[in-house]
Structure 1
Amino acid sequence: MDRNKNKRPVRRPIRRDFRPRICRFCENKVNYIDFLEPDLLAKFQTENGKILPSRVTGTCKLHQKMLCKAIKRARILALSL
């Protein structure tokens, strides 16, 4: 960090213009995420097959949990990466 004359670190301004992300599954009122839809599950994985965190995808806690289970079930059946 840059330092000023008093040898204290310069603080960055706080961003206050962010919008909270809305879970796309909550928006569409999805109750169950099907593990037989590899196209949908691929959007929530990296190229290597790792599950993306909810802070990146914007899913809520409940749907992130359901998404992880669906991806893991699809992996067992070799449907996803």
Structure 2
Amino acid sequence: MQRSSHGHAGPGDRSDDKKKYTKFRKDNRCRFCREKAAGVDYKDIVTLIKMSTNQGKLYSRKRSGNCAKHQRATSDAVKRARYMALLPYAGQ
């Protein structure tokens, strides 16, 4: 009986699948560490908007990709920008 063409032929046949998935690997390093930025600026509204949802909440570290140091700095920068009325407290 002939085997179907879909599926793996055996354990040695998985090298092609690994090559297929490793092409599009996302760089998991922090955005600010990659750019070697001095810090997160509360006046940089474009960056801060990317770090928050439409409702005005901040994305988590896992979702935004920030390291712990820059996530805390982002949180402080968003709070300062809200206080200075550069960002809304609530979303749109």
TM-score by length of 1: 0.73
Give the match for residue 72 of structure 1.
Answer: 79
CA offsets 1:17-41 (integer angstroms, 9 cap, x no match): 8867111110111121110111110
Please tell me the root mean square deviation across aligned C-alpha atoms, in Å.
1.6
Q: How does 1:35-74 map to 2 (within 5 A)?
A: 35-74=42-81
Identity of aligned residues (%): 34
Q: Which one has a bigger Cα radius of gyration?
A: 2
Higher helix share: 2
Letter of the structure 2 residue corresponding to residue 53 of structure 1: S
Which position in structure 1 is the counterpart of 2:40? 33
Structure 1 consecutive aligned stretches of length 4 or more whose deviation exceeds 6 Å? 17-20
Aligned residues, how many? 65
Structure 1: gaps of 5 or more residues: 1-16
Gaps of 5+ in 2: 1-21
